[in-house]
Structure 1
């Protein structure tokens, strides 16, 4: 007669997660316990997490701006620091704003902004098919998600009408990608991480077209690193936008905002 392993207890989960190198083992153990449908499912989740999969891929969702965002395997996980970018966008937007979320990943940014501005018109796009499928579930009826490279799949009718352009572009320099934690380096798409030689290649492509898509007074918002902030600001300014840098010490977040003159 086959013997079954006893159900995993909270202390056992914490011990196993700590052994796997999880810094916040207690918090993760609570989340795994709350997410598992049964003991077998819990054991499988622990095995996947201990093998190095991002916690959000294991449980299938991430909390972002107070929302539960579905996260599929192989899709970029929304970072808590990016909530600062959303806050800046909400402060700039009007109730009926036209919003575009480029490099949308799970669609978390656009969904969060639309939740704060229920009358906003939301459009989102990503080049990764898996991300697009995930984003369509998260955005639901709040907006439309397109598959394609940057502005390419967007309706031409949006040209000159976009009030808020969120572009959470990849900004890790190519040579630094290998220095990222294994969770990101192995389990997230490289196209969502690698920003080219100096980390600003995708930003340059966005800036080259942003002025054509933004409405007068509309703003482009991008996240960057502290050490890239000055160059990112120069890049945004080179596209004819009035650029400034805002920083959150709390979230360790740096955002560049470029506004099209009225």
Structure 2
């Protein structure tokens, strides 16, 4: 495995060995990994934010950097003074890893998740419904029940933000084995950020928040998009996680502009 570029070959081999029921299974799984199949797709699960989430083949694999999105959401929820359960939405949820991590630490929230990709929706339901979450299928806010309009306290977003032309330079395990719809953010990678900044306003509660993952290089642009839509913004960077998010608060008077 190291000969084909697996950086953590020993650790991955140990996981494959522990997972295999017999020698033929182990041989097959090692061959799949050497061909570039993501380790998480072979194992059927991924470690994320202190827990395990189911990850089916063809579904976006949660990255460690996205734990920053979870951390910032939990900070906001701890500071939420509302007596009623906070409404949290995991938008572009993929496997539902973000929503599952939030529910493990804040089980009192009303958690909804949405994705357009059918296999992701199926996988997210496996991860979220046992925890009390609700999963919806559709394109961004079109997927959500209308009863949530104007009630979302925290909108956690890991929308695609890879520029279209950059996808071809990504590692094969992402480019080949993850759906393009979970990667492609348009010509500059920010198409979804633009849509969310405009469409999200009608769905947020007064003083609600959008937390959106972006890259360090794109952070200023993502912040500018949200600020232009009427949000107060700040950027949070974690060198440990190699993650960047923009935290945007809906400013009073923005709704209905």
Paired with 2:94 and 2:54, the residues of 1 have a C-alpha distance of 11
Q: Deviations over 1:97-149 (max 9, x none)?
A: 10001100000001111111111001000000000000000002321101100
- Could you list the structure 1 runs, at least 4 aligned residues long, displaced by more than 3 angstroms after superposition: none
**Deviation of 1:188 (Å):** 0.3
Paired with 1:230 and 1:240, the residues of 2 have a C-alpha distance of 15
SS at match of 1:243: strand
Is the aligned partner of 1:120 residue 2:109? yes
Q: How does 1:2-17 map to 2 (within 5 A)?
A: 17=1
Is the aligned partner of 1:31 residue 2:15? yes
**Deviation of 1:208 (Å):** 1.0
Moved more, 103-112 or 138-147: 138-147
SS at match of 1:96: coil
Q: Aligned residue for 2:40? A: 56
TM-score by length of 2: 0.94
Q: Aligned residue for 2:68? A: 84
Paired with 1:62 and 1:97, the residues of 2 have a C-alpha distance of 27
Q: Aligned residue for 1:181? A: 171
SS at match of 2:121: helix
State the Cα RMSD in Å.
1.0
Tell me which of 120, 124, 129 is aligned to 1:135: 124
TM-score by length of 1: 0.92
Gaps of 5+ in 1: 1-16
**Deviation of 1:167 (Å):** 1.1
Paired with 2:18 and 2:232, the residues of 1 have a C-alpha distance of 47
SS at match of 1:187: coil
Paired with 2:33 and 2:138, the residues of 1 have a C-alpha distance of 31
Query: Which structure has the larger Rg?
Result: 1
**Deviation of 1:36 (Å):** 1.1
Q: Aligned residue for 1:149? A: 139
Paired with 1:66 and 1:33, the residues of 2 have a C-alpha distance of 22
Check conservation: 1:76, 1:188, Cα contact below 8 A: yes
Check conservation: 2:207, 2:251, Cα contact below 8 A: yes
Gaps of 5+ in 2: 253-257
Paired with 2:251 and 2:108, the residues of 1 have a C-alpha distance of 24
**Deviation of 1:96 (Å):** 2.3
Paired with 1:236 and 1:252, the residues of 2 have a C-alpha distance of 22
SS at match of 2:61: coil
Q: Deviations over 1:30-74 (max 9, x none)?
A: 111111122111111101101110110111110001111010111
Tell me which of 213, 235, 238 is aligned to 2:203: 213
Paired with 2:22 and 2:207, the residues of 1 have a C-alpha distance of 53
Check conservation: 1:211, 1:241, Cα contact below 8 A: no
Q: Aligned residue for 2:255? A: none
